[in-house]
Structure 1
Amino acid sequence: MLRIAIQKSGRLSDDSLNLIRECGISFISSSLKLKTESTNFPLEILFLRDDDIPGYVADGVADIGIVGENVLVEEGKQHLTVEQLGFSKCRLSLAVPKATEYKSVADLEGMNIATSYPNILQNFLDENGVKAQIHTISGSVEIAPSIGLAEAICDIVSSGSTLISNGLREVERVFKSQAVLIANEDLSEEKREILAKLLFRIHAVQRAQKTKYIVLNSPNESIERIKELLPGIKSPTILPLAEEGWSSIHSVVQEDAFWEIIEKIKDAGAQGILVVPIEKMIV
């Protein structure tokens, strides 16, 4: 049995649980339970505070965990990283009151800065040759300037709406973060095998999220041109239609690439283009 630690509540928790479900792993979750077991995969899920997850994994209480990269780096345990997961993306940014004049990072010299991430902030200041006073607080960092605790803050930003509502503006991006999968360095061979199976499923889900299955109809004389335009995994599948002189072309393409070439495909003669989401993709 592999034991995984995830955040007990919040966006990262929701995204982590969705990923586990998309991997075909069934479990019963409840806000009142701090752990649960899968009914069809050797996985036990622990619901913990995100700040505690790196320590629990490092100490072997949990075998693996899903945590924000910002928390991992702040704790100095980035060596535990196994995989970047691509969701729950955010950034750690510096912000000042809207009325504060700010031209460059040099303007932070001598300022009092409130943050929940003193280590990451200190590294940023050191890299830029700036000396400032760091005030470490947990929660409600945005209120620090309005109560006179600090002239600036360094906090997690997603949309930026919280900063705006507190009369602040983002001036520097200190660190980019996303969810990462971490693992204890001393896993048994049995648990490494289970982790490998889990990673296999995660990779299949990740590939599917970035690709689309497309089906289109084409006059036979346009097939070669359309094949050249389709950046699929391998050669597309081509099937004759009931109408003589026409064929159906099936392919898997990167979603971003598809939108770049759709006009060219149409100009080459493609008709009835269907774009279908892919649930899993194994290569």
Structure 2
Amino acid sequence: MTTPRLRIAVQKSGRLADRSLELIAGAGLRVLKGVNELLYRIENQPIDLLRVRDDDIPTFVADGVAELGIVGYNVLAEHFPDADLESQIVQRLGFGKCTLKIAVPNDAVYEGPQSLEGKRIATSYPNILGKWLKNNGVNATIVEMRGAVEVAPRMKIAHAICDLVSTGATLEANGMKATDLVLSSEAVLIKAPHAPPADLEHIYDMVVHRFDGVTASNGAKYVMLNAPREHLDEIIRLIPGADAPTIMPLAGRDDAVAVHAVCQENVFWDTLDKLKSAGASAILVLPIEKMMR
């Protein structure tokens, strides 16, 4: 009898491919490369990775070919412009962050969306752009391109573009400037519309919980310090992103306690200086490798 296997669709190559595999490895799933590049197997769990084009991931998951998928929110929004996307998203994964923005030549006068009225705008995201233009009451012509969108104004194909921006270096190199934000994006874990088969539910839940643990531990720090009781409230307020820190008595001391906290935000040196000034001592900041919430 063949053992049922959970299927996760991931990007074969591109911006999110390596980070998706890092997430999977971080969740303790050992990836075995298959005889071809389209299918990888998980050695220690009944899971297959379907490695496909990013544009195909929403379809694979929506059609139930894969129970889960890792894809950019921008791809999901472009593929299903009128759908309730939040109902499809299991988790926001915190990597692959970028923005979809309007960009115009440096010498162009831009005073908001109305500056695009009657203009031509090149993009690889016609559905997202079309929705944004409609919401802003702008009538413009969308020129769909599959690549090198940033050269469209220079080639006289369009007056402006709508494209993904991370560092802005590509725009700068092409004499353009980013203006209005159209969409904020990051990698998301999406699910099929129907629940997984009963014999795969425990694997499905395990994957979701482990991914959540990996995501939660990214950038998180474990802070330990000693605090005088009289300044405890002030010190707790200074610990960034801490939720209900653990307070423990110190052996042989009634005037101070030990404080342990998980910080979901960066702990900078100036924060440590403020904690020290408030009376904290023996301050330790440790990275968190794994965390289960």
What TM-score, normalized by structure 2, do the two folds share?
0.86
Task: Indicate which of 18, 22, 26 corresponds to 1:14.
Answer: 18
- Equivalent AA in structure 1 for residue 213 of structure 2: A
- Equivalent AA in structure 2 for residue 39 of structure 1: E
Superposed, 1:89-128 pairs within 5 Å as 89-128=97-136
Is 1:225 paired with 2:236? Answer: no
Shift of 1:262: 3.3
Aligned to 2:176: 168
Q: Kindly, what percent of the aligned residue pairs are identical?
A: 42
Shift of 1:192: 3.3
Superposed, 1:129-148 pairs within 5 Å as 129-148=137-156
Shift of 1:261: 5.2
Shift of 1:82: 1.9
Shift of 1:135: 0.8
Distance 1:143 1:250, change over 3 A: same
CA distance in 1, matches of 2:220, 2:124: 37
Aligned to 1:46: 50
Task: Indicate which of 161, 184, 192 corresponds to 2:192.
Answer: 184
Per mean C-alpha deviation after superposition, the further-off stretch among 228-237 and 88-97 is: 228-237
Contact 1:240–1:247 (CA<8 Å) still a contact in 2?
A: no
Shift of 1:194: 1.8
Task: Indicate which of 73, 83, 96 corresponds to 1:88.
Answer: 96
Contact 1:208–1:279 (CA<8 Å) still a contact in 2?
A: yes
Aligned to 2:291: 281
Secondary structure (helix, strand or coil) at the match of 2:244 reads: coil
Shift of 1:31: 11
Aligned to 2:159: 151
CA distance in 2, matches of 1:233, 1:252: 8
Is 1:209 paired with 2:218? Answer: yes
Task: Indicate which of 242, 245, 251 corresponds to 1:240.
Answer: 251
Shift of 1:269: 2.6
Secondary structure (helix, strand or coil) at the match of 2:246 reads: coil
Per mean C-alpha deviation after superposition, the further-off stretch among 140-149 and 250-259 is: 250-259
Distance 1:32 1:240, change over 3 A: farther
Aligned to 1:72: 76
Q: Which has a greater percent of helix?
A: 1
Secondary structure (helix, strand or coil) at the match of 2:110 reads: coil
Distance 1:217 1:66, change over 3 A: same
Is 1:262 paired with 2:272? Answer: yes
Distance 1:68 1:232, change over 3 A: closer
Aligned to 1:55: 59
- Equivalent AA in structure 2 for residue 189 of structure 1: A
- Equivalent AA in structure 2 for residue 164 of structure 1: E
Give unpaired runs (5+ residues) of structure 2: 237-241
Runs of 4+ in 1 over 4 A off after TM superposition: 29-32, 244-248, 257-261
RMSD: 2.5
Distance 1:86 1:255, change over 3 A: closer
Secondary structure (helix, strand or coil) at the match of 1:60 reads: coil
CA distance in 2, matches of 1:124, 1:55: 23
CA distance in 1, matches of 2:133, 2:249: 58
Contact 1:97–1:145 (CA<8 Å) still a contact in 2?
A: yes
Contact 2:8–2:68 (CA<8 Å) still a contact in 1?
A: yes
- Equivalent AA in structure 2 for residue 110 of structure 1: G
Give unpaired runs (5+ residues) of structure 1: none
Contact 1:142–1:153 (CA<8 Å) still a contact in 2?
A: yes
What TM-score, normalized by structure 1, do the two folds share?
0.89
Secondary structure (helix, strand or coil) at the match of 1:28 reads: strand
Aligned to 2:9: 5
Q: Deviations over 1:163-197 (max 9, x none)?
A: 11111111111011111111111232233332211
